[in-house]
Amino acid sequence: MKNTSAPPLGAGAKRSTPSGGLQAWLPRLVLAPSVAISLFFVYGFMLWTFVLSLTSSRMLPSYDFVGFGQYSRLMANERWWVASTNLMIFGVLFVVICLVIGSLLAILLDQKIRQEGALRTIYLYPMALSFIVTGVVWKWLLNPQLGIQAMVQSWGFESFRFDWITDPDMAIYTLVIAAVWQASGFVMALFLAGLRGIDDSIVKAAQLDGASLPRIYWRVVMPCLRPVVFSAVMILAHIAIKSFDLVVALTGGGPGYATDLPATFMYAHAFTRAQIGLGSASAMLMLGGVLAILIPYLYSELRSRKHG
C-alpha cells in the first residue's frame, strides 16, 4: 500500500500566504495618509509661500511675478531691520542666559539635595505653560501701575523704577525676562539628564587628584556635556526665531514697533497690512534661519549615529 500523504515541508521551504504580504504593506498603508497630509499642508504650503514671495500679491494672492522684488523691498524696510536687530538681541540673550541658569540649576540638583523632586517640578512647571499665558502674567508683573514697580513703591521706595515695558529702548529685554523664566527649567532638565549619565568614577578620580568641585564641573564634567549643550542651543535658537505669541501677549510689538520680531513683522504685513508678497518674503527668510539651525543639528546627529 502506497503512502499518499504529502511530503513534509523542508526546513528552508517558505510558505507564501496572503497575510504575509499584507503585514509587509500594512505599515506603509498606515503611514501613507499622514505622509500625504504632511507633504501637502506643510511642504506644499512652504512652496506656495515661496511662489507668493516672488509675486506682487497684496490683499489676495496674485501671480504677477516680480522676481526678487519683494526681497528688495524687505531689505529697504526699516521695520524689518528693527525686527531683525531685536531678534539678534533677544536670541543671543535668551540662549546664553537659559544655558547659564539651566546648567547652574542642574548642577545644584545634581548634589543630591533634599526635596529634589519638588524643586525639579517647580523649575519645570513654567515650561508646561503656553507663551500666551507667560506673556499675560509678565505683562501684569511689569505693568508700572500694577506690578513690581507699584509693589516696591508701596513698601516705601518711591524712587524705584521698573517701567521697561513702556520704554522703547528697554522693552525688548522684557521679552528676554519672560522667555528665560519659561525655558530655563527645560534646559535644566536636559543638563540634569546629561549629568546623571556621566560615570561617577570620572568625578571621583578628579576629586582624588585634589580638584575643587567648581573646577571638576568646568574642566571635567562640562566637556562631556557638549552634545547636550549643542542640542540645547539648537532648540532655544529655534524657539527664538519662531517667537510670536509671547510678543503678542506681552508687548504687542510695542511701544510702536520697538519689540517687533520677524514673526510679528510677517503676520502684520501679510494679514493686517494687505502685503502678502512682502509677508511671504519675510516668512521665507525666517525659514532660512530655521534651516540654518536645523541642518547642522541633523548633520551632527546623523554623523554621531554613523560613527556610533
pLDDT at 21 over 80: no
Residue-wise pLDDT for 230-258, tens only, equals 889 988 998 998 899 999 999 999 898 99
Average of pLDDT values for 166-177? Answer: 94
Q: What band does 170 get if pLDDT is binned at 50, 70 and 90?
A: very high
Q: Which three cell numbers stand for residue 269?
A: 504685513
Q: What band does 308 get if pLDDT is binned at 50, 70 and 90?
A: low
pLDDT in the model for residue 61: 87
pLDDT in the model for residue 7: 53
pLDDT in the model for residue 179: 95
pLDDT in the model for residue 3: 54
pLDDT at 8 over 80: no
Average pLDDT over all residues of the chain: 86
Residue-wise pLDDT for 67-125, tens only, equals 999 999 999 999 999 999 999 999 999 999 999 999 999 988 888 777 878 888 888 88
Average of pLDDT values for 267-282? Answer: 91
pLDDT at 5 over 70: no
pLDDT at 15 over 70: no
pLDDT at 6 over 80: no
pLDDT in the model for residue 148: 93
pLDDT in the model for residue 206: 79
Residue-wise pLDDT for 28-72, tens only, equals 888 888 888 988 888 898 999 999 999 999 988 888 899 999 999
